[in-house]
Structure 1
Amino acid sequence: MLIAEQGALDATDPRLNGKKLTIGIVQARFNTDITNALAEACRTELLALGVAETNITLVQVPGALEVPVALQSLADNLKYDALIALGCIIRGETYHFELVANESGAGVSRVGLDYKVPIANAILTVENIAQAVARQTDKGRDAARAAVEMANLLESIA
């Protein structure tokens, strides 16, 4: 049995088949233009991978620090095969950037480990708006693909 393989997967790979999956997305509203673009790219890719529109739940929270508690609430439902965290943290002039980036990342990881649910973390941590714009579409798509692949992987291991 093949457990790991290097390189990107082709969209026809069965590990990217989302037809039977239910996905929850938590989107931070802070830096809305960026997070809306992340969410749209993510949703579009999930649909392209076969996830039914009715099997995608999107909830919004104020900012990246609120993402983990919303993920935890979704995980409590036990109906999601995978979750996705979307947000954008842009470095400012204070230590606040590091605090938000570190704490939101740790919270996302903790929820995934505590609930044994895969979470694709696409909370961007960037130096400026130009970096965020350059990443918003690819990272949204990447999160969808990672969520579907990991949901299928965990199902195959179980």
Structure 2
Amino acid sequence: MKDANKGSAATLDGKGLRIGIVQARFNEDITDALAKACLGELETLGVASEDIDHLDVPGALEVPVALQALAERNRYHALIALGCIIRGETYHFELVANESGAGVSRVALDYRIPVANAILTTENLEQAIARQTDKGRDAARVAVEMARLLGPSGSP
């Protein structure tokens, strides 16, 4: 059974929401495309550009600490993590993917703030390119929907 309160792109309203975005620069062509799609969707959903703070960090492992710094400001309704990790020939892919994902989740749970995780983890560049636009838009929608679900107090 579908919940009538579930947000669709047509019903999500980002007006009045403050959103923080942390973007990893590694694989910058992909993360720039993620950011462009995310920012465009936030605008479509009514989030004012002056209510969006957008930070860059070197890579996916640095994203959680930057999210934590934003969460500690206690001024955002939701946060968004943007990055791209492409499998290589070493264990490094698993380490970065697992640790960045766990760190993003930890920030959300520790600070009781929605964090939309759009750190792509792909086998190759082609997969990353295929996902960059949709996942950027999805992150914006998730952030707005979860911000509205949890409300300003951080609870439903």
TM-score, scaled to structure 2: 0.94
Match of 2:123 in 1: 127
Please point out which of 128, 138, 143 is paired with 2:139. Answer: 143
Residue number in structure 2 paired with 1:10 = 8
What are the Cα deviations for residues 76-129 of structure 1, in whole angstroms up to 9, with x where unaligned? 100000000000000000000000000000000000000000000000000000
Alignment of structure 1 residues 1-158 onto 2, 5 Å: 5=3, 9-13=7-11, 16-155=12-151, 157-158=155-156
Gaps of at least 5 residues in structure 2 are none
- 5+ long unaligned stretches in structure 1: none
Letter in 2 for 1:140: G
Percent identical among aligned pairs is: 70
Tell whether the 8 Å contact from 2:7 to 2:145 is kept in structure 1 after alignment.
Answer: no
* Secondary structure at 1:66 match in 2: helix
Deviation at 1:20, TM superposition (A): 1.2
Counterpart CA distance in 1 for 2:9 and 2:97 is 31
4+ residue runs over 2 A deviation:
8-12
- Displacement of 1:5 in angstroms is 3.0
Displacement, 1:32? 0.2
Structure 2 SS opposite 1:78: coil
Shift of residue 9 of structure 1? Answer: 4.2
**What is the letter of the counterpart of residue 109 of structure 1?**
S
Alignment RMSD: 1.7
The residue matched to 1:152 in structure 2 has which SS? helix
C-alpha distance in structure 1 between counterparts of 2:67 and 2:79, whole Å: 7
Deviation per CA, 1:50-89: give whole Å up to 9, x if none. 0000001100000000000000000010000000000000
- TM-superposed CA distance for 1:134, in Å, is 0.1
Q: How many residues align?
A: 153
Helix, strand or coil at the partner of 2:71: helix
Could you tell me how far apart the structure 1 residues matched to 2:70 and 2:151 are?
A: 19
Which amino acid counterpart does residue 123 of structure 1 have in structure 2? I
